[in-house]
Amino acid sequence: MDPSVDSIVMEMKGIKGVIDSKVICERRAQVTVSAEAYHSVVETLQKKGFAHIAAMTCIDSGENLELLLQIGRRAIVTVKVILPAQTPSIDSVSDILPPASFHEREIHDLFGVEFRNCPDSSRLMLPEEWPKGTFPLRKSFQPETPAPLRGP
């Protein structure tokens, strides 16, 4: 059983590297951390029972990339890290949460985030012939036919 969202949010507030910690709604909380503290915060959460990765999302918000790790079974805590879009690089958490490597490989393919110490960084989502250094889910990537064609 996961601990309640309120208590985890209060506990997270004291930890070094935690920028912000808040309850979003019922069974959802968000903890914003610095890139250096990301690994240790995830480790703390894992020890508290947040060991199930619901999803790992990356969002291109212009100058920065936001990495969101959503973990938890009943309640979901989002660990948010802001990375520079030019050289995004962060510690891999696959030593704490083994299945994270799949999520990290997906984000590496689609957004170009470097995960340090990721056991496997080969391509997962993109085909072999996809050009290197092109990240399709970044906002700078323009698809050829973004919307359905018009007309008969």
Residues engaged in binding other proteins (CB under 8 A): 24-25, 27-28, 30, 51-57, 59-60, 68, 70, 73-74, 76, 78, 97-99, 101-103, 106, 110, 123-128, 130, 136-137, 141, 143-152
Residue with Cβ nearer other proteins (14 or 144): 144
Please, what is the minimum distance in Å from the beta carbon of residue 16 to other proteins?
A: 25
E-assigned strand segments in 1-152:
18-25, 28-33, 53-60, 64-71, 76-84, 89-91, 114-116
Please, what is the minimum distance in Å from the beta carbon of residue 126 to other proteins?
A: 6
Residue with Cβ nearer other proteins (12 or 76): 76
Which DSSP state fits 139? T
Burial tier of 4 (Cβ tally within 10 Å: 0-12, 13-18, 19+): middle
Q: Using an 8 Å Cβ cutoff, are 106 and 82 in contact?
A: no
Residue with Cβ nearer other proteins (13 or 74): 74
